[in-house]
Chain A
Amino acid sequence: MSPYLTVSEEMKHAARDVPRAMISSILINGLLGFIWLIVLLYVSPPLPTLLTFPVPFIGIVSTAYSNLGGTIFVELIIIYTAAAATIGLTSSTSRTVWAFARDKGLPLNPFLSRVNQKWEVPVNAIAVTTFLEMLLGVIYFGNTTAFNAILSLATVAMYLTYFIPIVLMLFYARRQRELVFGPWKLGRMGWVLNLIAVMFTGFFFVLLNFPPVRESP
């Protein structure tokens, strides 16, 4: 088989499969999440009872099952999935840091963009990002709302990275005649979806800078 053919096939697949994976994971996860929310709300005890538990979710599950074994099982599932997601997120984060360092966007770029030849992984980028994440945990010593702070930091920063390319696409690149679309395209819906995305992302980008629960002064 000609390597040329294989490579262009490969490129075509990447250009089509990544968009598909992105959209399907949101459709599937959104559906599961929505059903889960409704179930939790149907079986949840009233809010004041819930707040007496250190982890409110355990309050919901243990009230619903009134059975220790069942609650432990649910907890283990949540803990296992969160740990597994950490592994995948670490891969993704370290690759982004490594790629950005390789493109000379970060300080210490020769160090961060080094790749261990034996294991074929960007060891330095993994080590540095893991270390920085560990530092984020230290905030928790002084402040128990640290979890919310990390959530909003993550959401706001990611929203900025989603916002800018979409704005550029909507207001600049779409007007360029030489823009050549990939195999996965929105067609006429593109304008509309870009506009909705820009409005949604921009609005919540500003709003999510505020803490959802205000400490009483």
Chain B
Amino acid sequence: MSPASVVEPLSPAKIDMEVLTEDDLALARLGHKQQLRRRFNIWSMLALSLCLLATWEALSTTLIAALLSGGPVSVIYGFLLAWAGTLAQAASLAEISSIYPTAGGQYHWTACLAPPGGKKWLSYVVGWASCGGLIATTASAPFACALQIQGLIGLCNPDYESKTWVVVVSFWGVLLLAGSVNIFGIKLLPAFNYLSCNSPSLFCLWTMHMVYKAIVLMVVTIHIVGFLALFISLLAVAPKNSATAVWATFENNSGWPNDGVAWLLGMLTSCYVFIGYDCAAHMRSILPTPPATSHISLS
């Protein structure tokens, strides 16, 4: 019996918080086959979130905007403010995601939390913002990548002049690579299929799981061990600025007349490097036939 034939999908008008939570569990029982295949442990989820955020790597590319709009002071204290604000934000969303541990993320939570009159249109707004925002977030990573590739070429050939098409072509290249890995190589990410009950071959799954582990291990290692290596070596070899230069220098080169405004606008860098932590929640819906729990009908 398929879960969908047993329970009709929830429509926003019918969503009631208590009922939904009850429904979630009830439908999870009905849709147990699909649920089982979503097995996902906290370590792979943490590894995924760490690497998606890639905070220090992203800062390396975006630092300059904040430096222009307020200098080191703007960068340091702006980062601390963004970190604190993002923690409050993430804690609030984490609590919501724990109430509704279903696929769909923010637009689904909106449909669940909103008063009856607002469920549908608010959910639409959030859904569209989510799709647009994630598309732009996804585009930002290969863009940073392409700018760094251009810089690397220039570093190796001092006579090289920056060319726009090099950036665009490497941007496209990284995106196409990511798209193909997602289409053809997703079985390399079997955190989602791992321990699947209806898998044809246990051995096959085990092998894929090992490959997956190797990939995750490599990215996480670079993210953390690579960080330590770079941070220690940079501090060891480079001449250092004075503490005042780092902790107490404000300069406004942003073109905005007001220093306070410049400082606040420089926050884009610090806010940007923290967006995307909600991706772990979306990854739950990785499977092709999710149980009816995660459906809300917007039509």
Contacts and interface: CB of A to CB of B under 8 A. Distances in A.
A-B interaction: yes
A43 B141 CA distance: 25
* 3 closest cross-chain pairs (CB), A and B: A157-B133, A182-B98, A55-B151
B211 interface: no
Given A83-B145, A154-B136, A57 B151 contact: yes
B10 to A, nearest CB: 10
A157 B136 contact: yes
12 contacts: A6-B36, A7-B35, A11-B28, A23-B87, A24-B49, A29-B54, A34-B79, A82-B61, A99-B282, A105-B124, A150-B139, A155-B271
B247 to A, nearest CB: 9
Contact of A104 (B80, B97, B297): B297
B50 to A, nearest CB: 5
Contact of B42 (A21, A51, A127, A146): A21
Interface string B256-299: 10000000111111011111111111111111111000111111
Interface string A115-159: 111011111001101101110111011001011101111111111
A43 B241 contact: yes
Contacts, number: 597
B92 A89 contact: no
Contacts of A200: 84-86, 88-89
Contact of A140 (B133, B154, B168, B223): B168
Q: DSSP majority for the A interface?
A: helix
A82 B144 CA distance: 7
B57 A82 contact: yes
Interface string B145-158: 11111111011100
A108 interface: no
Contacts of B267: 204, 207-208, 212
A25 B289 CA distance: 29
A80 B287 contact: no
Interface string A168-195: 1110110010111111111001100110
A162 B182 CA distance: 26
Contacts of A66: 237
B222 interface: yes
B140 A14 contact: no
B98 A184 contact: yes
B14 interface: no
